[in-house]
Chains A and B, each alone.
Chain A
Amino acid sequence: MDSIVGLSILGYVAKMAAENDIEITTTVGTPENQAIATAVVSQSNIAAGKPERAVDVRYYGSQFATSAGILGIIARENVGANIMIGNYGADAIILAEAAQTHGVMQIGGCAVPGNLPFFMAICDYYLMGEEMYAAAAISTGNPIDLAIIAAEDIPKWLIFLLVVIGVVATTAGSKVIQTLFRY
């Protein structure tokens, strides 16, 4: 699912890049995504009225082979911005930290909790878990999508409230919340 979110955001970024004549290089971790990403970038170019623009989507192989490939791009191709949204593992910190060392502006987004502190510490902007899914919807500007995201905030606030009550109750020595939600 995270890959689909990444592809959705790629569509938005590729369209903006085409409109502003900015080169965009896309790297994918799986060969399935290469075909889809190529179609996404190509369609974004058409949507921006520039179908002649080159489509640069690269697949490098395994997780760390991809990391090595991306490190090469960052080091050699004068990258201005690095947008990392999708399903990342241990490679997240390697890529983000290398890009930061080269002074690249970064936006990170990942739903894996273990990667969150790294993205928070390294990236200029970051999307935490659910924000990543929301970003894919908000970037469309479609009223239906925006309504869905607004409606999603209601259960989120309820969960937040329960967490606060749970923390206070547990600190006070009560196990009411744990008992209530144990199954």
Chain B
Amino acid sequence: MSKYLKSLGALYFASAIALFIFIEYYLAVPVLSAASKELQGFAITAGGFAIVLGFTEMARLHLTRIRKKTAKEWPFSICLLVALGVITILGLVLTPRHWIYQTLFGNVYTPLDSAMYALTGFYIISATFRAFRIRSMDMLIFMIPAMLILMYNGPIFAAVWEGFGPLGAWLVDVANTAALRAYRITAAVGAVVFTVRVILGIERRWLG
């Protein structure tokens, strides 16, 4: 029963805040706007506490792996915990502006992050290859304009048949724009309906 009341309390609290932000957006009364800014500031503070929670949970998970010597995983967990500990202690003791912290961040974290991002390029190529295998009617619909746009962008095809130019331009300017707008509008309708369901408490599974 207490768990139910706790969940209900969280629901009412979240709904009231969401409704307040919603009303403030449309009324734009200075007092309400100031209160809304304060509330959004609270969200940033709560996010800060959540990082501590995330940090603790991550450390707990990896300590468990090391203790149990989980196959193939525990050496990585040691690396992670060492990195986590070193960067946290350096940040707390020397501050994040210190050159040692900056060197570690700029020369270790940033290149690794960029390397992960660079993987996207390779995965796009293999995903494109996969897209060109027609598995269903959807993929056929997906494939035909893709081929036409490929031909539109390749000058050799325009030299073979002039029609690729206007056809590709029509696909990009008219068909693609119309479809994208329809997609965005329907997604927005869905998002609005979902938001209303959340605010009214009809959708409550996200609370646990």
Please list the residues of chain A having a beta carbon within 8 angstroms of any beta carbon in chain B: 1, 4-5, 7-8, 11-12, 30-32, 34-36, 38-40, 42-43, 57-62, 64-65, 67-68, 72, 76, 90, 93-94, 96-98, 100-101, 111, 113, 116-118, 120-122, 128-134, 136-137, 140, 142, 144-145, 148-149, 152, 155-156, 159-160, 163, 166-167, 170-171
Summed over the interface, the residue pairs from A and B with CB atoms below 8 Å come to a total of 172
Contact, CB under 8 Å: B127 / A4: no
B interface residues, how many (CB within 8 angstroms): 57
Residues of B within 8 A of A57 (CB): 57
Contact, CB under 8 Å: A93 / B124: yes
Q: Quick one: closest B residue to A155, CB to CB?
A: B189
Distance of A120 Cα from B187 Cα, bound (Å) = 17
Query: How distant is B14 from chain A, measured CB to nearest CB, in Å?
Result: 10
For B174, give its contact among A5, A65, A170 (CB under 8 Å): A170
Residues of B within 8 A of A98 (CB): 123
For A93, give its contact among B47, B127, B193 (CB under 8 Å): B127
Contact, CB under 8 Å: B57 / A133: no
Distance of A46 Cα from B189 Cα, bound (Å) = 33
Query: How distant is A37 from chain B, measured CB to nearest CB, in Å?
Result: 8
For A36, give its contact among B131, B179, B191, B208 (CB under 8 Å): B208
Residues of B within 8 A of A62 (CB): 113
Contact, CB under 8 Å: A113 / B50: no
Dominant secondary structure of chain B at its interface with chain A: helix
Dominant secondary structure of chain A at its interface with chain B: helix
For B126, give its contact among A59, A60, A64, A97 (CB under 8 Å): A97
Contact, CB under 8 Å: B189 / A156: yes
Residues of A within 8 A of B58 (CB): 58-61
Q: Which of B148-175 contact A (CB under 8 A)?
A: 170, 174-175
Could you give, for residues 95-135 of chain B, a 1 whenever the CB lies within 8 Å of some chain A CB and a 0 otherwise?
Answer: 00000000000000000110011011001101110110000
For A59, give its contact among B57, B112, B127, B130 (CB under 8 Å): B57
With A4-B194, A94-B116, A137-B194 known as contacts, the answer to whether A12 contacts B205 (CB < 8 A) is yes
